[in-house]
Each structure stands twice: as C-alpha cells, then as structure tokens.
Amino acid sequence: MQSLSDLVDSFHLYAVCETCQRQAKLDVETLINRLGGDTEVHKMRSKLKCRVCHTRTEDLRIVYVGKKDQEAIFQYRR
C-alpha cells in the first residue's frame, strides 16, 4: 500500500471535485505533519471535502513529478 511518506519525494497529490470540476493540490508534507507519514493514501479519500461547494469527494489523483533530489540540484547550486 502506498503511504503518504512514499509520495512526498516524487509525487504530487490532487483532489478533484466532480461537482464543480475543481482541482486542488494537496500539500503532502502538511498531511504528513497532521496525519502521519504511515497514513495510507486510499484512507485519505474519505477525509476529502471540496472547499468551494462543500461536497465530499473521493477522487484523488497522484501525479509523478520526479525525485526531490533532482530538484535540489537546481535549487542549491550557485
């Protein structure tokens, strides 16, 4: 099972509201701080709620964005 700590390095997590077609990026590090890194991603689904229309949604998208190490090369090299 995929847990939040598996996602933090290489993936972005998006919640999608089918009612108003809104897509919001979830901050994985914030979620880990609040729920713990061992939290399984599929368990997050029941906690999601759209901020705009307040509909509960279970639609999560996981997007691969690459390893954090590779970003760091660009961020920290001077």
Which residues of the shown chain bind Zn ion in the complex (CB under 5 A)?
A: 17, 19-20, 22, 50, 52-53
Residue among 54 and 78 whose Cβ is closer to Zn ion: 54
- Residues found in the chain: 78
Choice between 53 and 65, CB closer to Zn ion: 53
Structure-block tokens of residue 51? 């901020």
Identity of the residue, 12 or 22, whose beta carbon is nearer to Zn ion in the bound complex: 22
d(CA 19, CA 49): 11
Shortest reach from residue 21's CB to Zn ion, in Å: 8
The residue among 48, 53, 1, 54 whose CA lies nearest residue 25 is 48
